[in-house]
Structure 1
Amino acid sequence: MASTQERDEPEHVTQDATERVGEDMAGTLEQAARDLLDRGEEGVEHTLRLVVRGAIQTVPHVEEAGISLVEDGRRVESYVPSSDIVQQIDELQNDLGEGPCLDSIWHEQRTVVDDMAEADHRWPRYARAARELGIGSLMSFQLFAERGSAGALNLYASQPHVFDESTADAGRLFAAQAALVLHGAQRIQGLHTALASRDVIGQAKGILMERFGVGQAQAFSMLVESSQNTNMKLAKVAEWLAGEVEKKGAHRRS
């Protein structure tokens, strides 16, 4: 809740502060994007770490932060938490099946708890346990929720009544930008997977071309037909074929 002094500040002061937060966010996320491209396969985890660190540094009153991701189910995984407390909070929500991060991931785009002492009616077991861990207030922002995958950026403070509407807006803007960076990181990771699949498919095509004396197009058609007949993805069929050839080669050498 904002104090009288804060409400009486000139409008241009608030605007200047908001602009500074925006500049800090932009700089942090630009650095995350650059580091992501430099680090390759390590990029996703490194980017998440930068997002958490940047949120603590740029969003007013935030003391702890973490990103919760869910893949193929409802279990929350805590990624690059800023402290053991954040890790415990995510595990707590898994154990209890309730909490603001779960709500943000599955039901709401933004969850703000102004005072954890007043949240017993919503999450009776979680609120009590969070207070015992020293959490006074929190904000949770949905990063994405699609195709069985979901995530949230969670920001914590030890004191209640520190996250007013302007602070929540800053957190929302940061979360929106963080979601874009995370999406880019996951997309790059997917490209690495696609390249690996392409390599193994090429290897499998070469095996079929040599074994049956066929061309590239015919070898690829053989892989596609095998994929359809076995109800396996094309890359999995190629992996199996390459693996079988490698096993036979190792057996002959021994």
Structure 2
Amino acid sequence: METRRESSAQLVKALSAAAHELSAPSSSQDQVLALIVSGAVHTVPGAEHAGVSLLAANGVITSQAPSSDLVRRLDELQSTYREGPCIAALREQHTVLVDNLAIEAQRWPNFAPAGMACGAVSMLCFQLFASDDSLGALALYSSRVGAFDDESLTLGELFASHAALALGRAQQMEQLHQALATRDVIGQAKGILMERFSIDAIAAFAMLVHSSQDTNMRVADVARWLAAEPRPHADR
């Protein structure tokens, strides 16, 4: 039987591997999520399946890097019924432990029987982050009653805390890359307008803003359309 020391060693190893992977400039949010899920399944005692559940402002839950179809199905059920352990972790509590879903019918009258029918019995959900437009949770599942113990909670919380920081970093990096890409395409569009109409950079940007307002499109989208438009050939 695995000892606490061995489990802790696994956690340290998993977190070290994740940190090393996340330090790579090419790491994307999808890679971060995959590391979170894989590390959780192999580190937290009792975990058989895992996934990151994202709750949008409209109430829809989406599965990110689910370890199995079971995780995706459970997220779909919680999204449909607007109830379940992940939603509770996201909206009400930071951590939700379910020892036996069969006795949770009063708490979640729709999700509990549907989740049991899918094969889920024990669940452990940790809130990862909360922002203005989305919430995130790390969800662990098992087919056994009482699969998660105090050690699962302790290690799971440590892993979730590290995962939240890593995921936040990945989101910041993606936003930075998007901002740089937007700046580049706007600069390209300004150059096209400057050449075509013999105007300076300020006037070119003003044209982009004016076009954005007239078409109800974002400036970046107007710039992308302009950059993708075939350039007219100069008269010879």
TM-score where L is the length of structure 1: 0.80
Given that 2:8 and 2:155 are in contact with CA atoms closer than 8 Å, whether structure 1 keeps it comes out as: no
The 2-side partners of 1:170 and 1:84 are apart by: 25
Task: Please give the alpha-carbon distance, in whole angstroms, between the structure 1 residues aligned to 2:161 and 2:26.
Answer: 23
Contact 1:93/1:99 (8 A) holds in 2:
yes
Show the counterpart of 1:29.
Answer: 18
CA contact (8 A) 2:50 2:67 kept: yes
Question: Aligned with 2:110: secondary structure?
Answer: helix
The residue type equivalent to 1:237 in the other structure is: V
- Give the letter for the 2:88 counterpart: D
Aligned residue for 2:83, secondary structure, equals coil
* C-alpha RMSD of matched pairs (Å): 2.5
Q: Which residue of 2 aligns with 1:134?
A: 119
Which one-letter code corresponds to 1:97 in the other structure?
Answer: R
1:143 match: secondary structure: strand
Q: Secondary structure at the match of 2:148?
A: coil
Aligned pairs (5 A) from 1:224-235: 224-227=209-212, 232-235=217-220
Match of 2:26 among 33, 38, 44: 38
Question: Unaligned stretches of 5+ in structure 1?
Answer: 1-12
Matches within 5 A, 1:1-254: 14=4, 16=5, 19-34=8-23, 37-39=25-27, 43-227=28-212, 232-243=217-228, 246=229, 249=232
Determine the structure 2 residue equivalent to 1:8: none
Alignment check: 8 A CA contact 2:7 2:43 kept: no
Maintained 8 Å contact 2:45/2:151: no
**What number of residue pairs does the alignment pair up?**
232
Distance in 2 between residues matched to 1:230 and 1:38, nearest whole Å: 35
Q: Distance in 1 between matches of 2:81 and 2:192?
A: 52
CA distance in 2, matches of 1:249, 1:138: 61
TM normalised by structure 2 equals 0.86
Counterparts of 1:107 and 1:128, CA distance in 2: 22
Residue type matched to 1:84 in 2? D
C-alpha distance in structure 2 between counterparts of 1:183 and 1:236, whole Å = 26
CA distances 1:85-130 after superposition (whole Å, capped 9, x unpaired): 1111111112222111122222221111122222111112211222
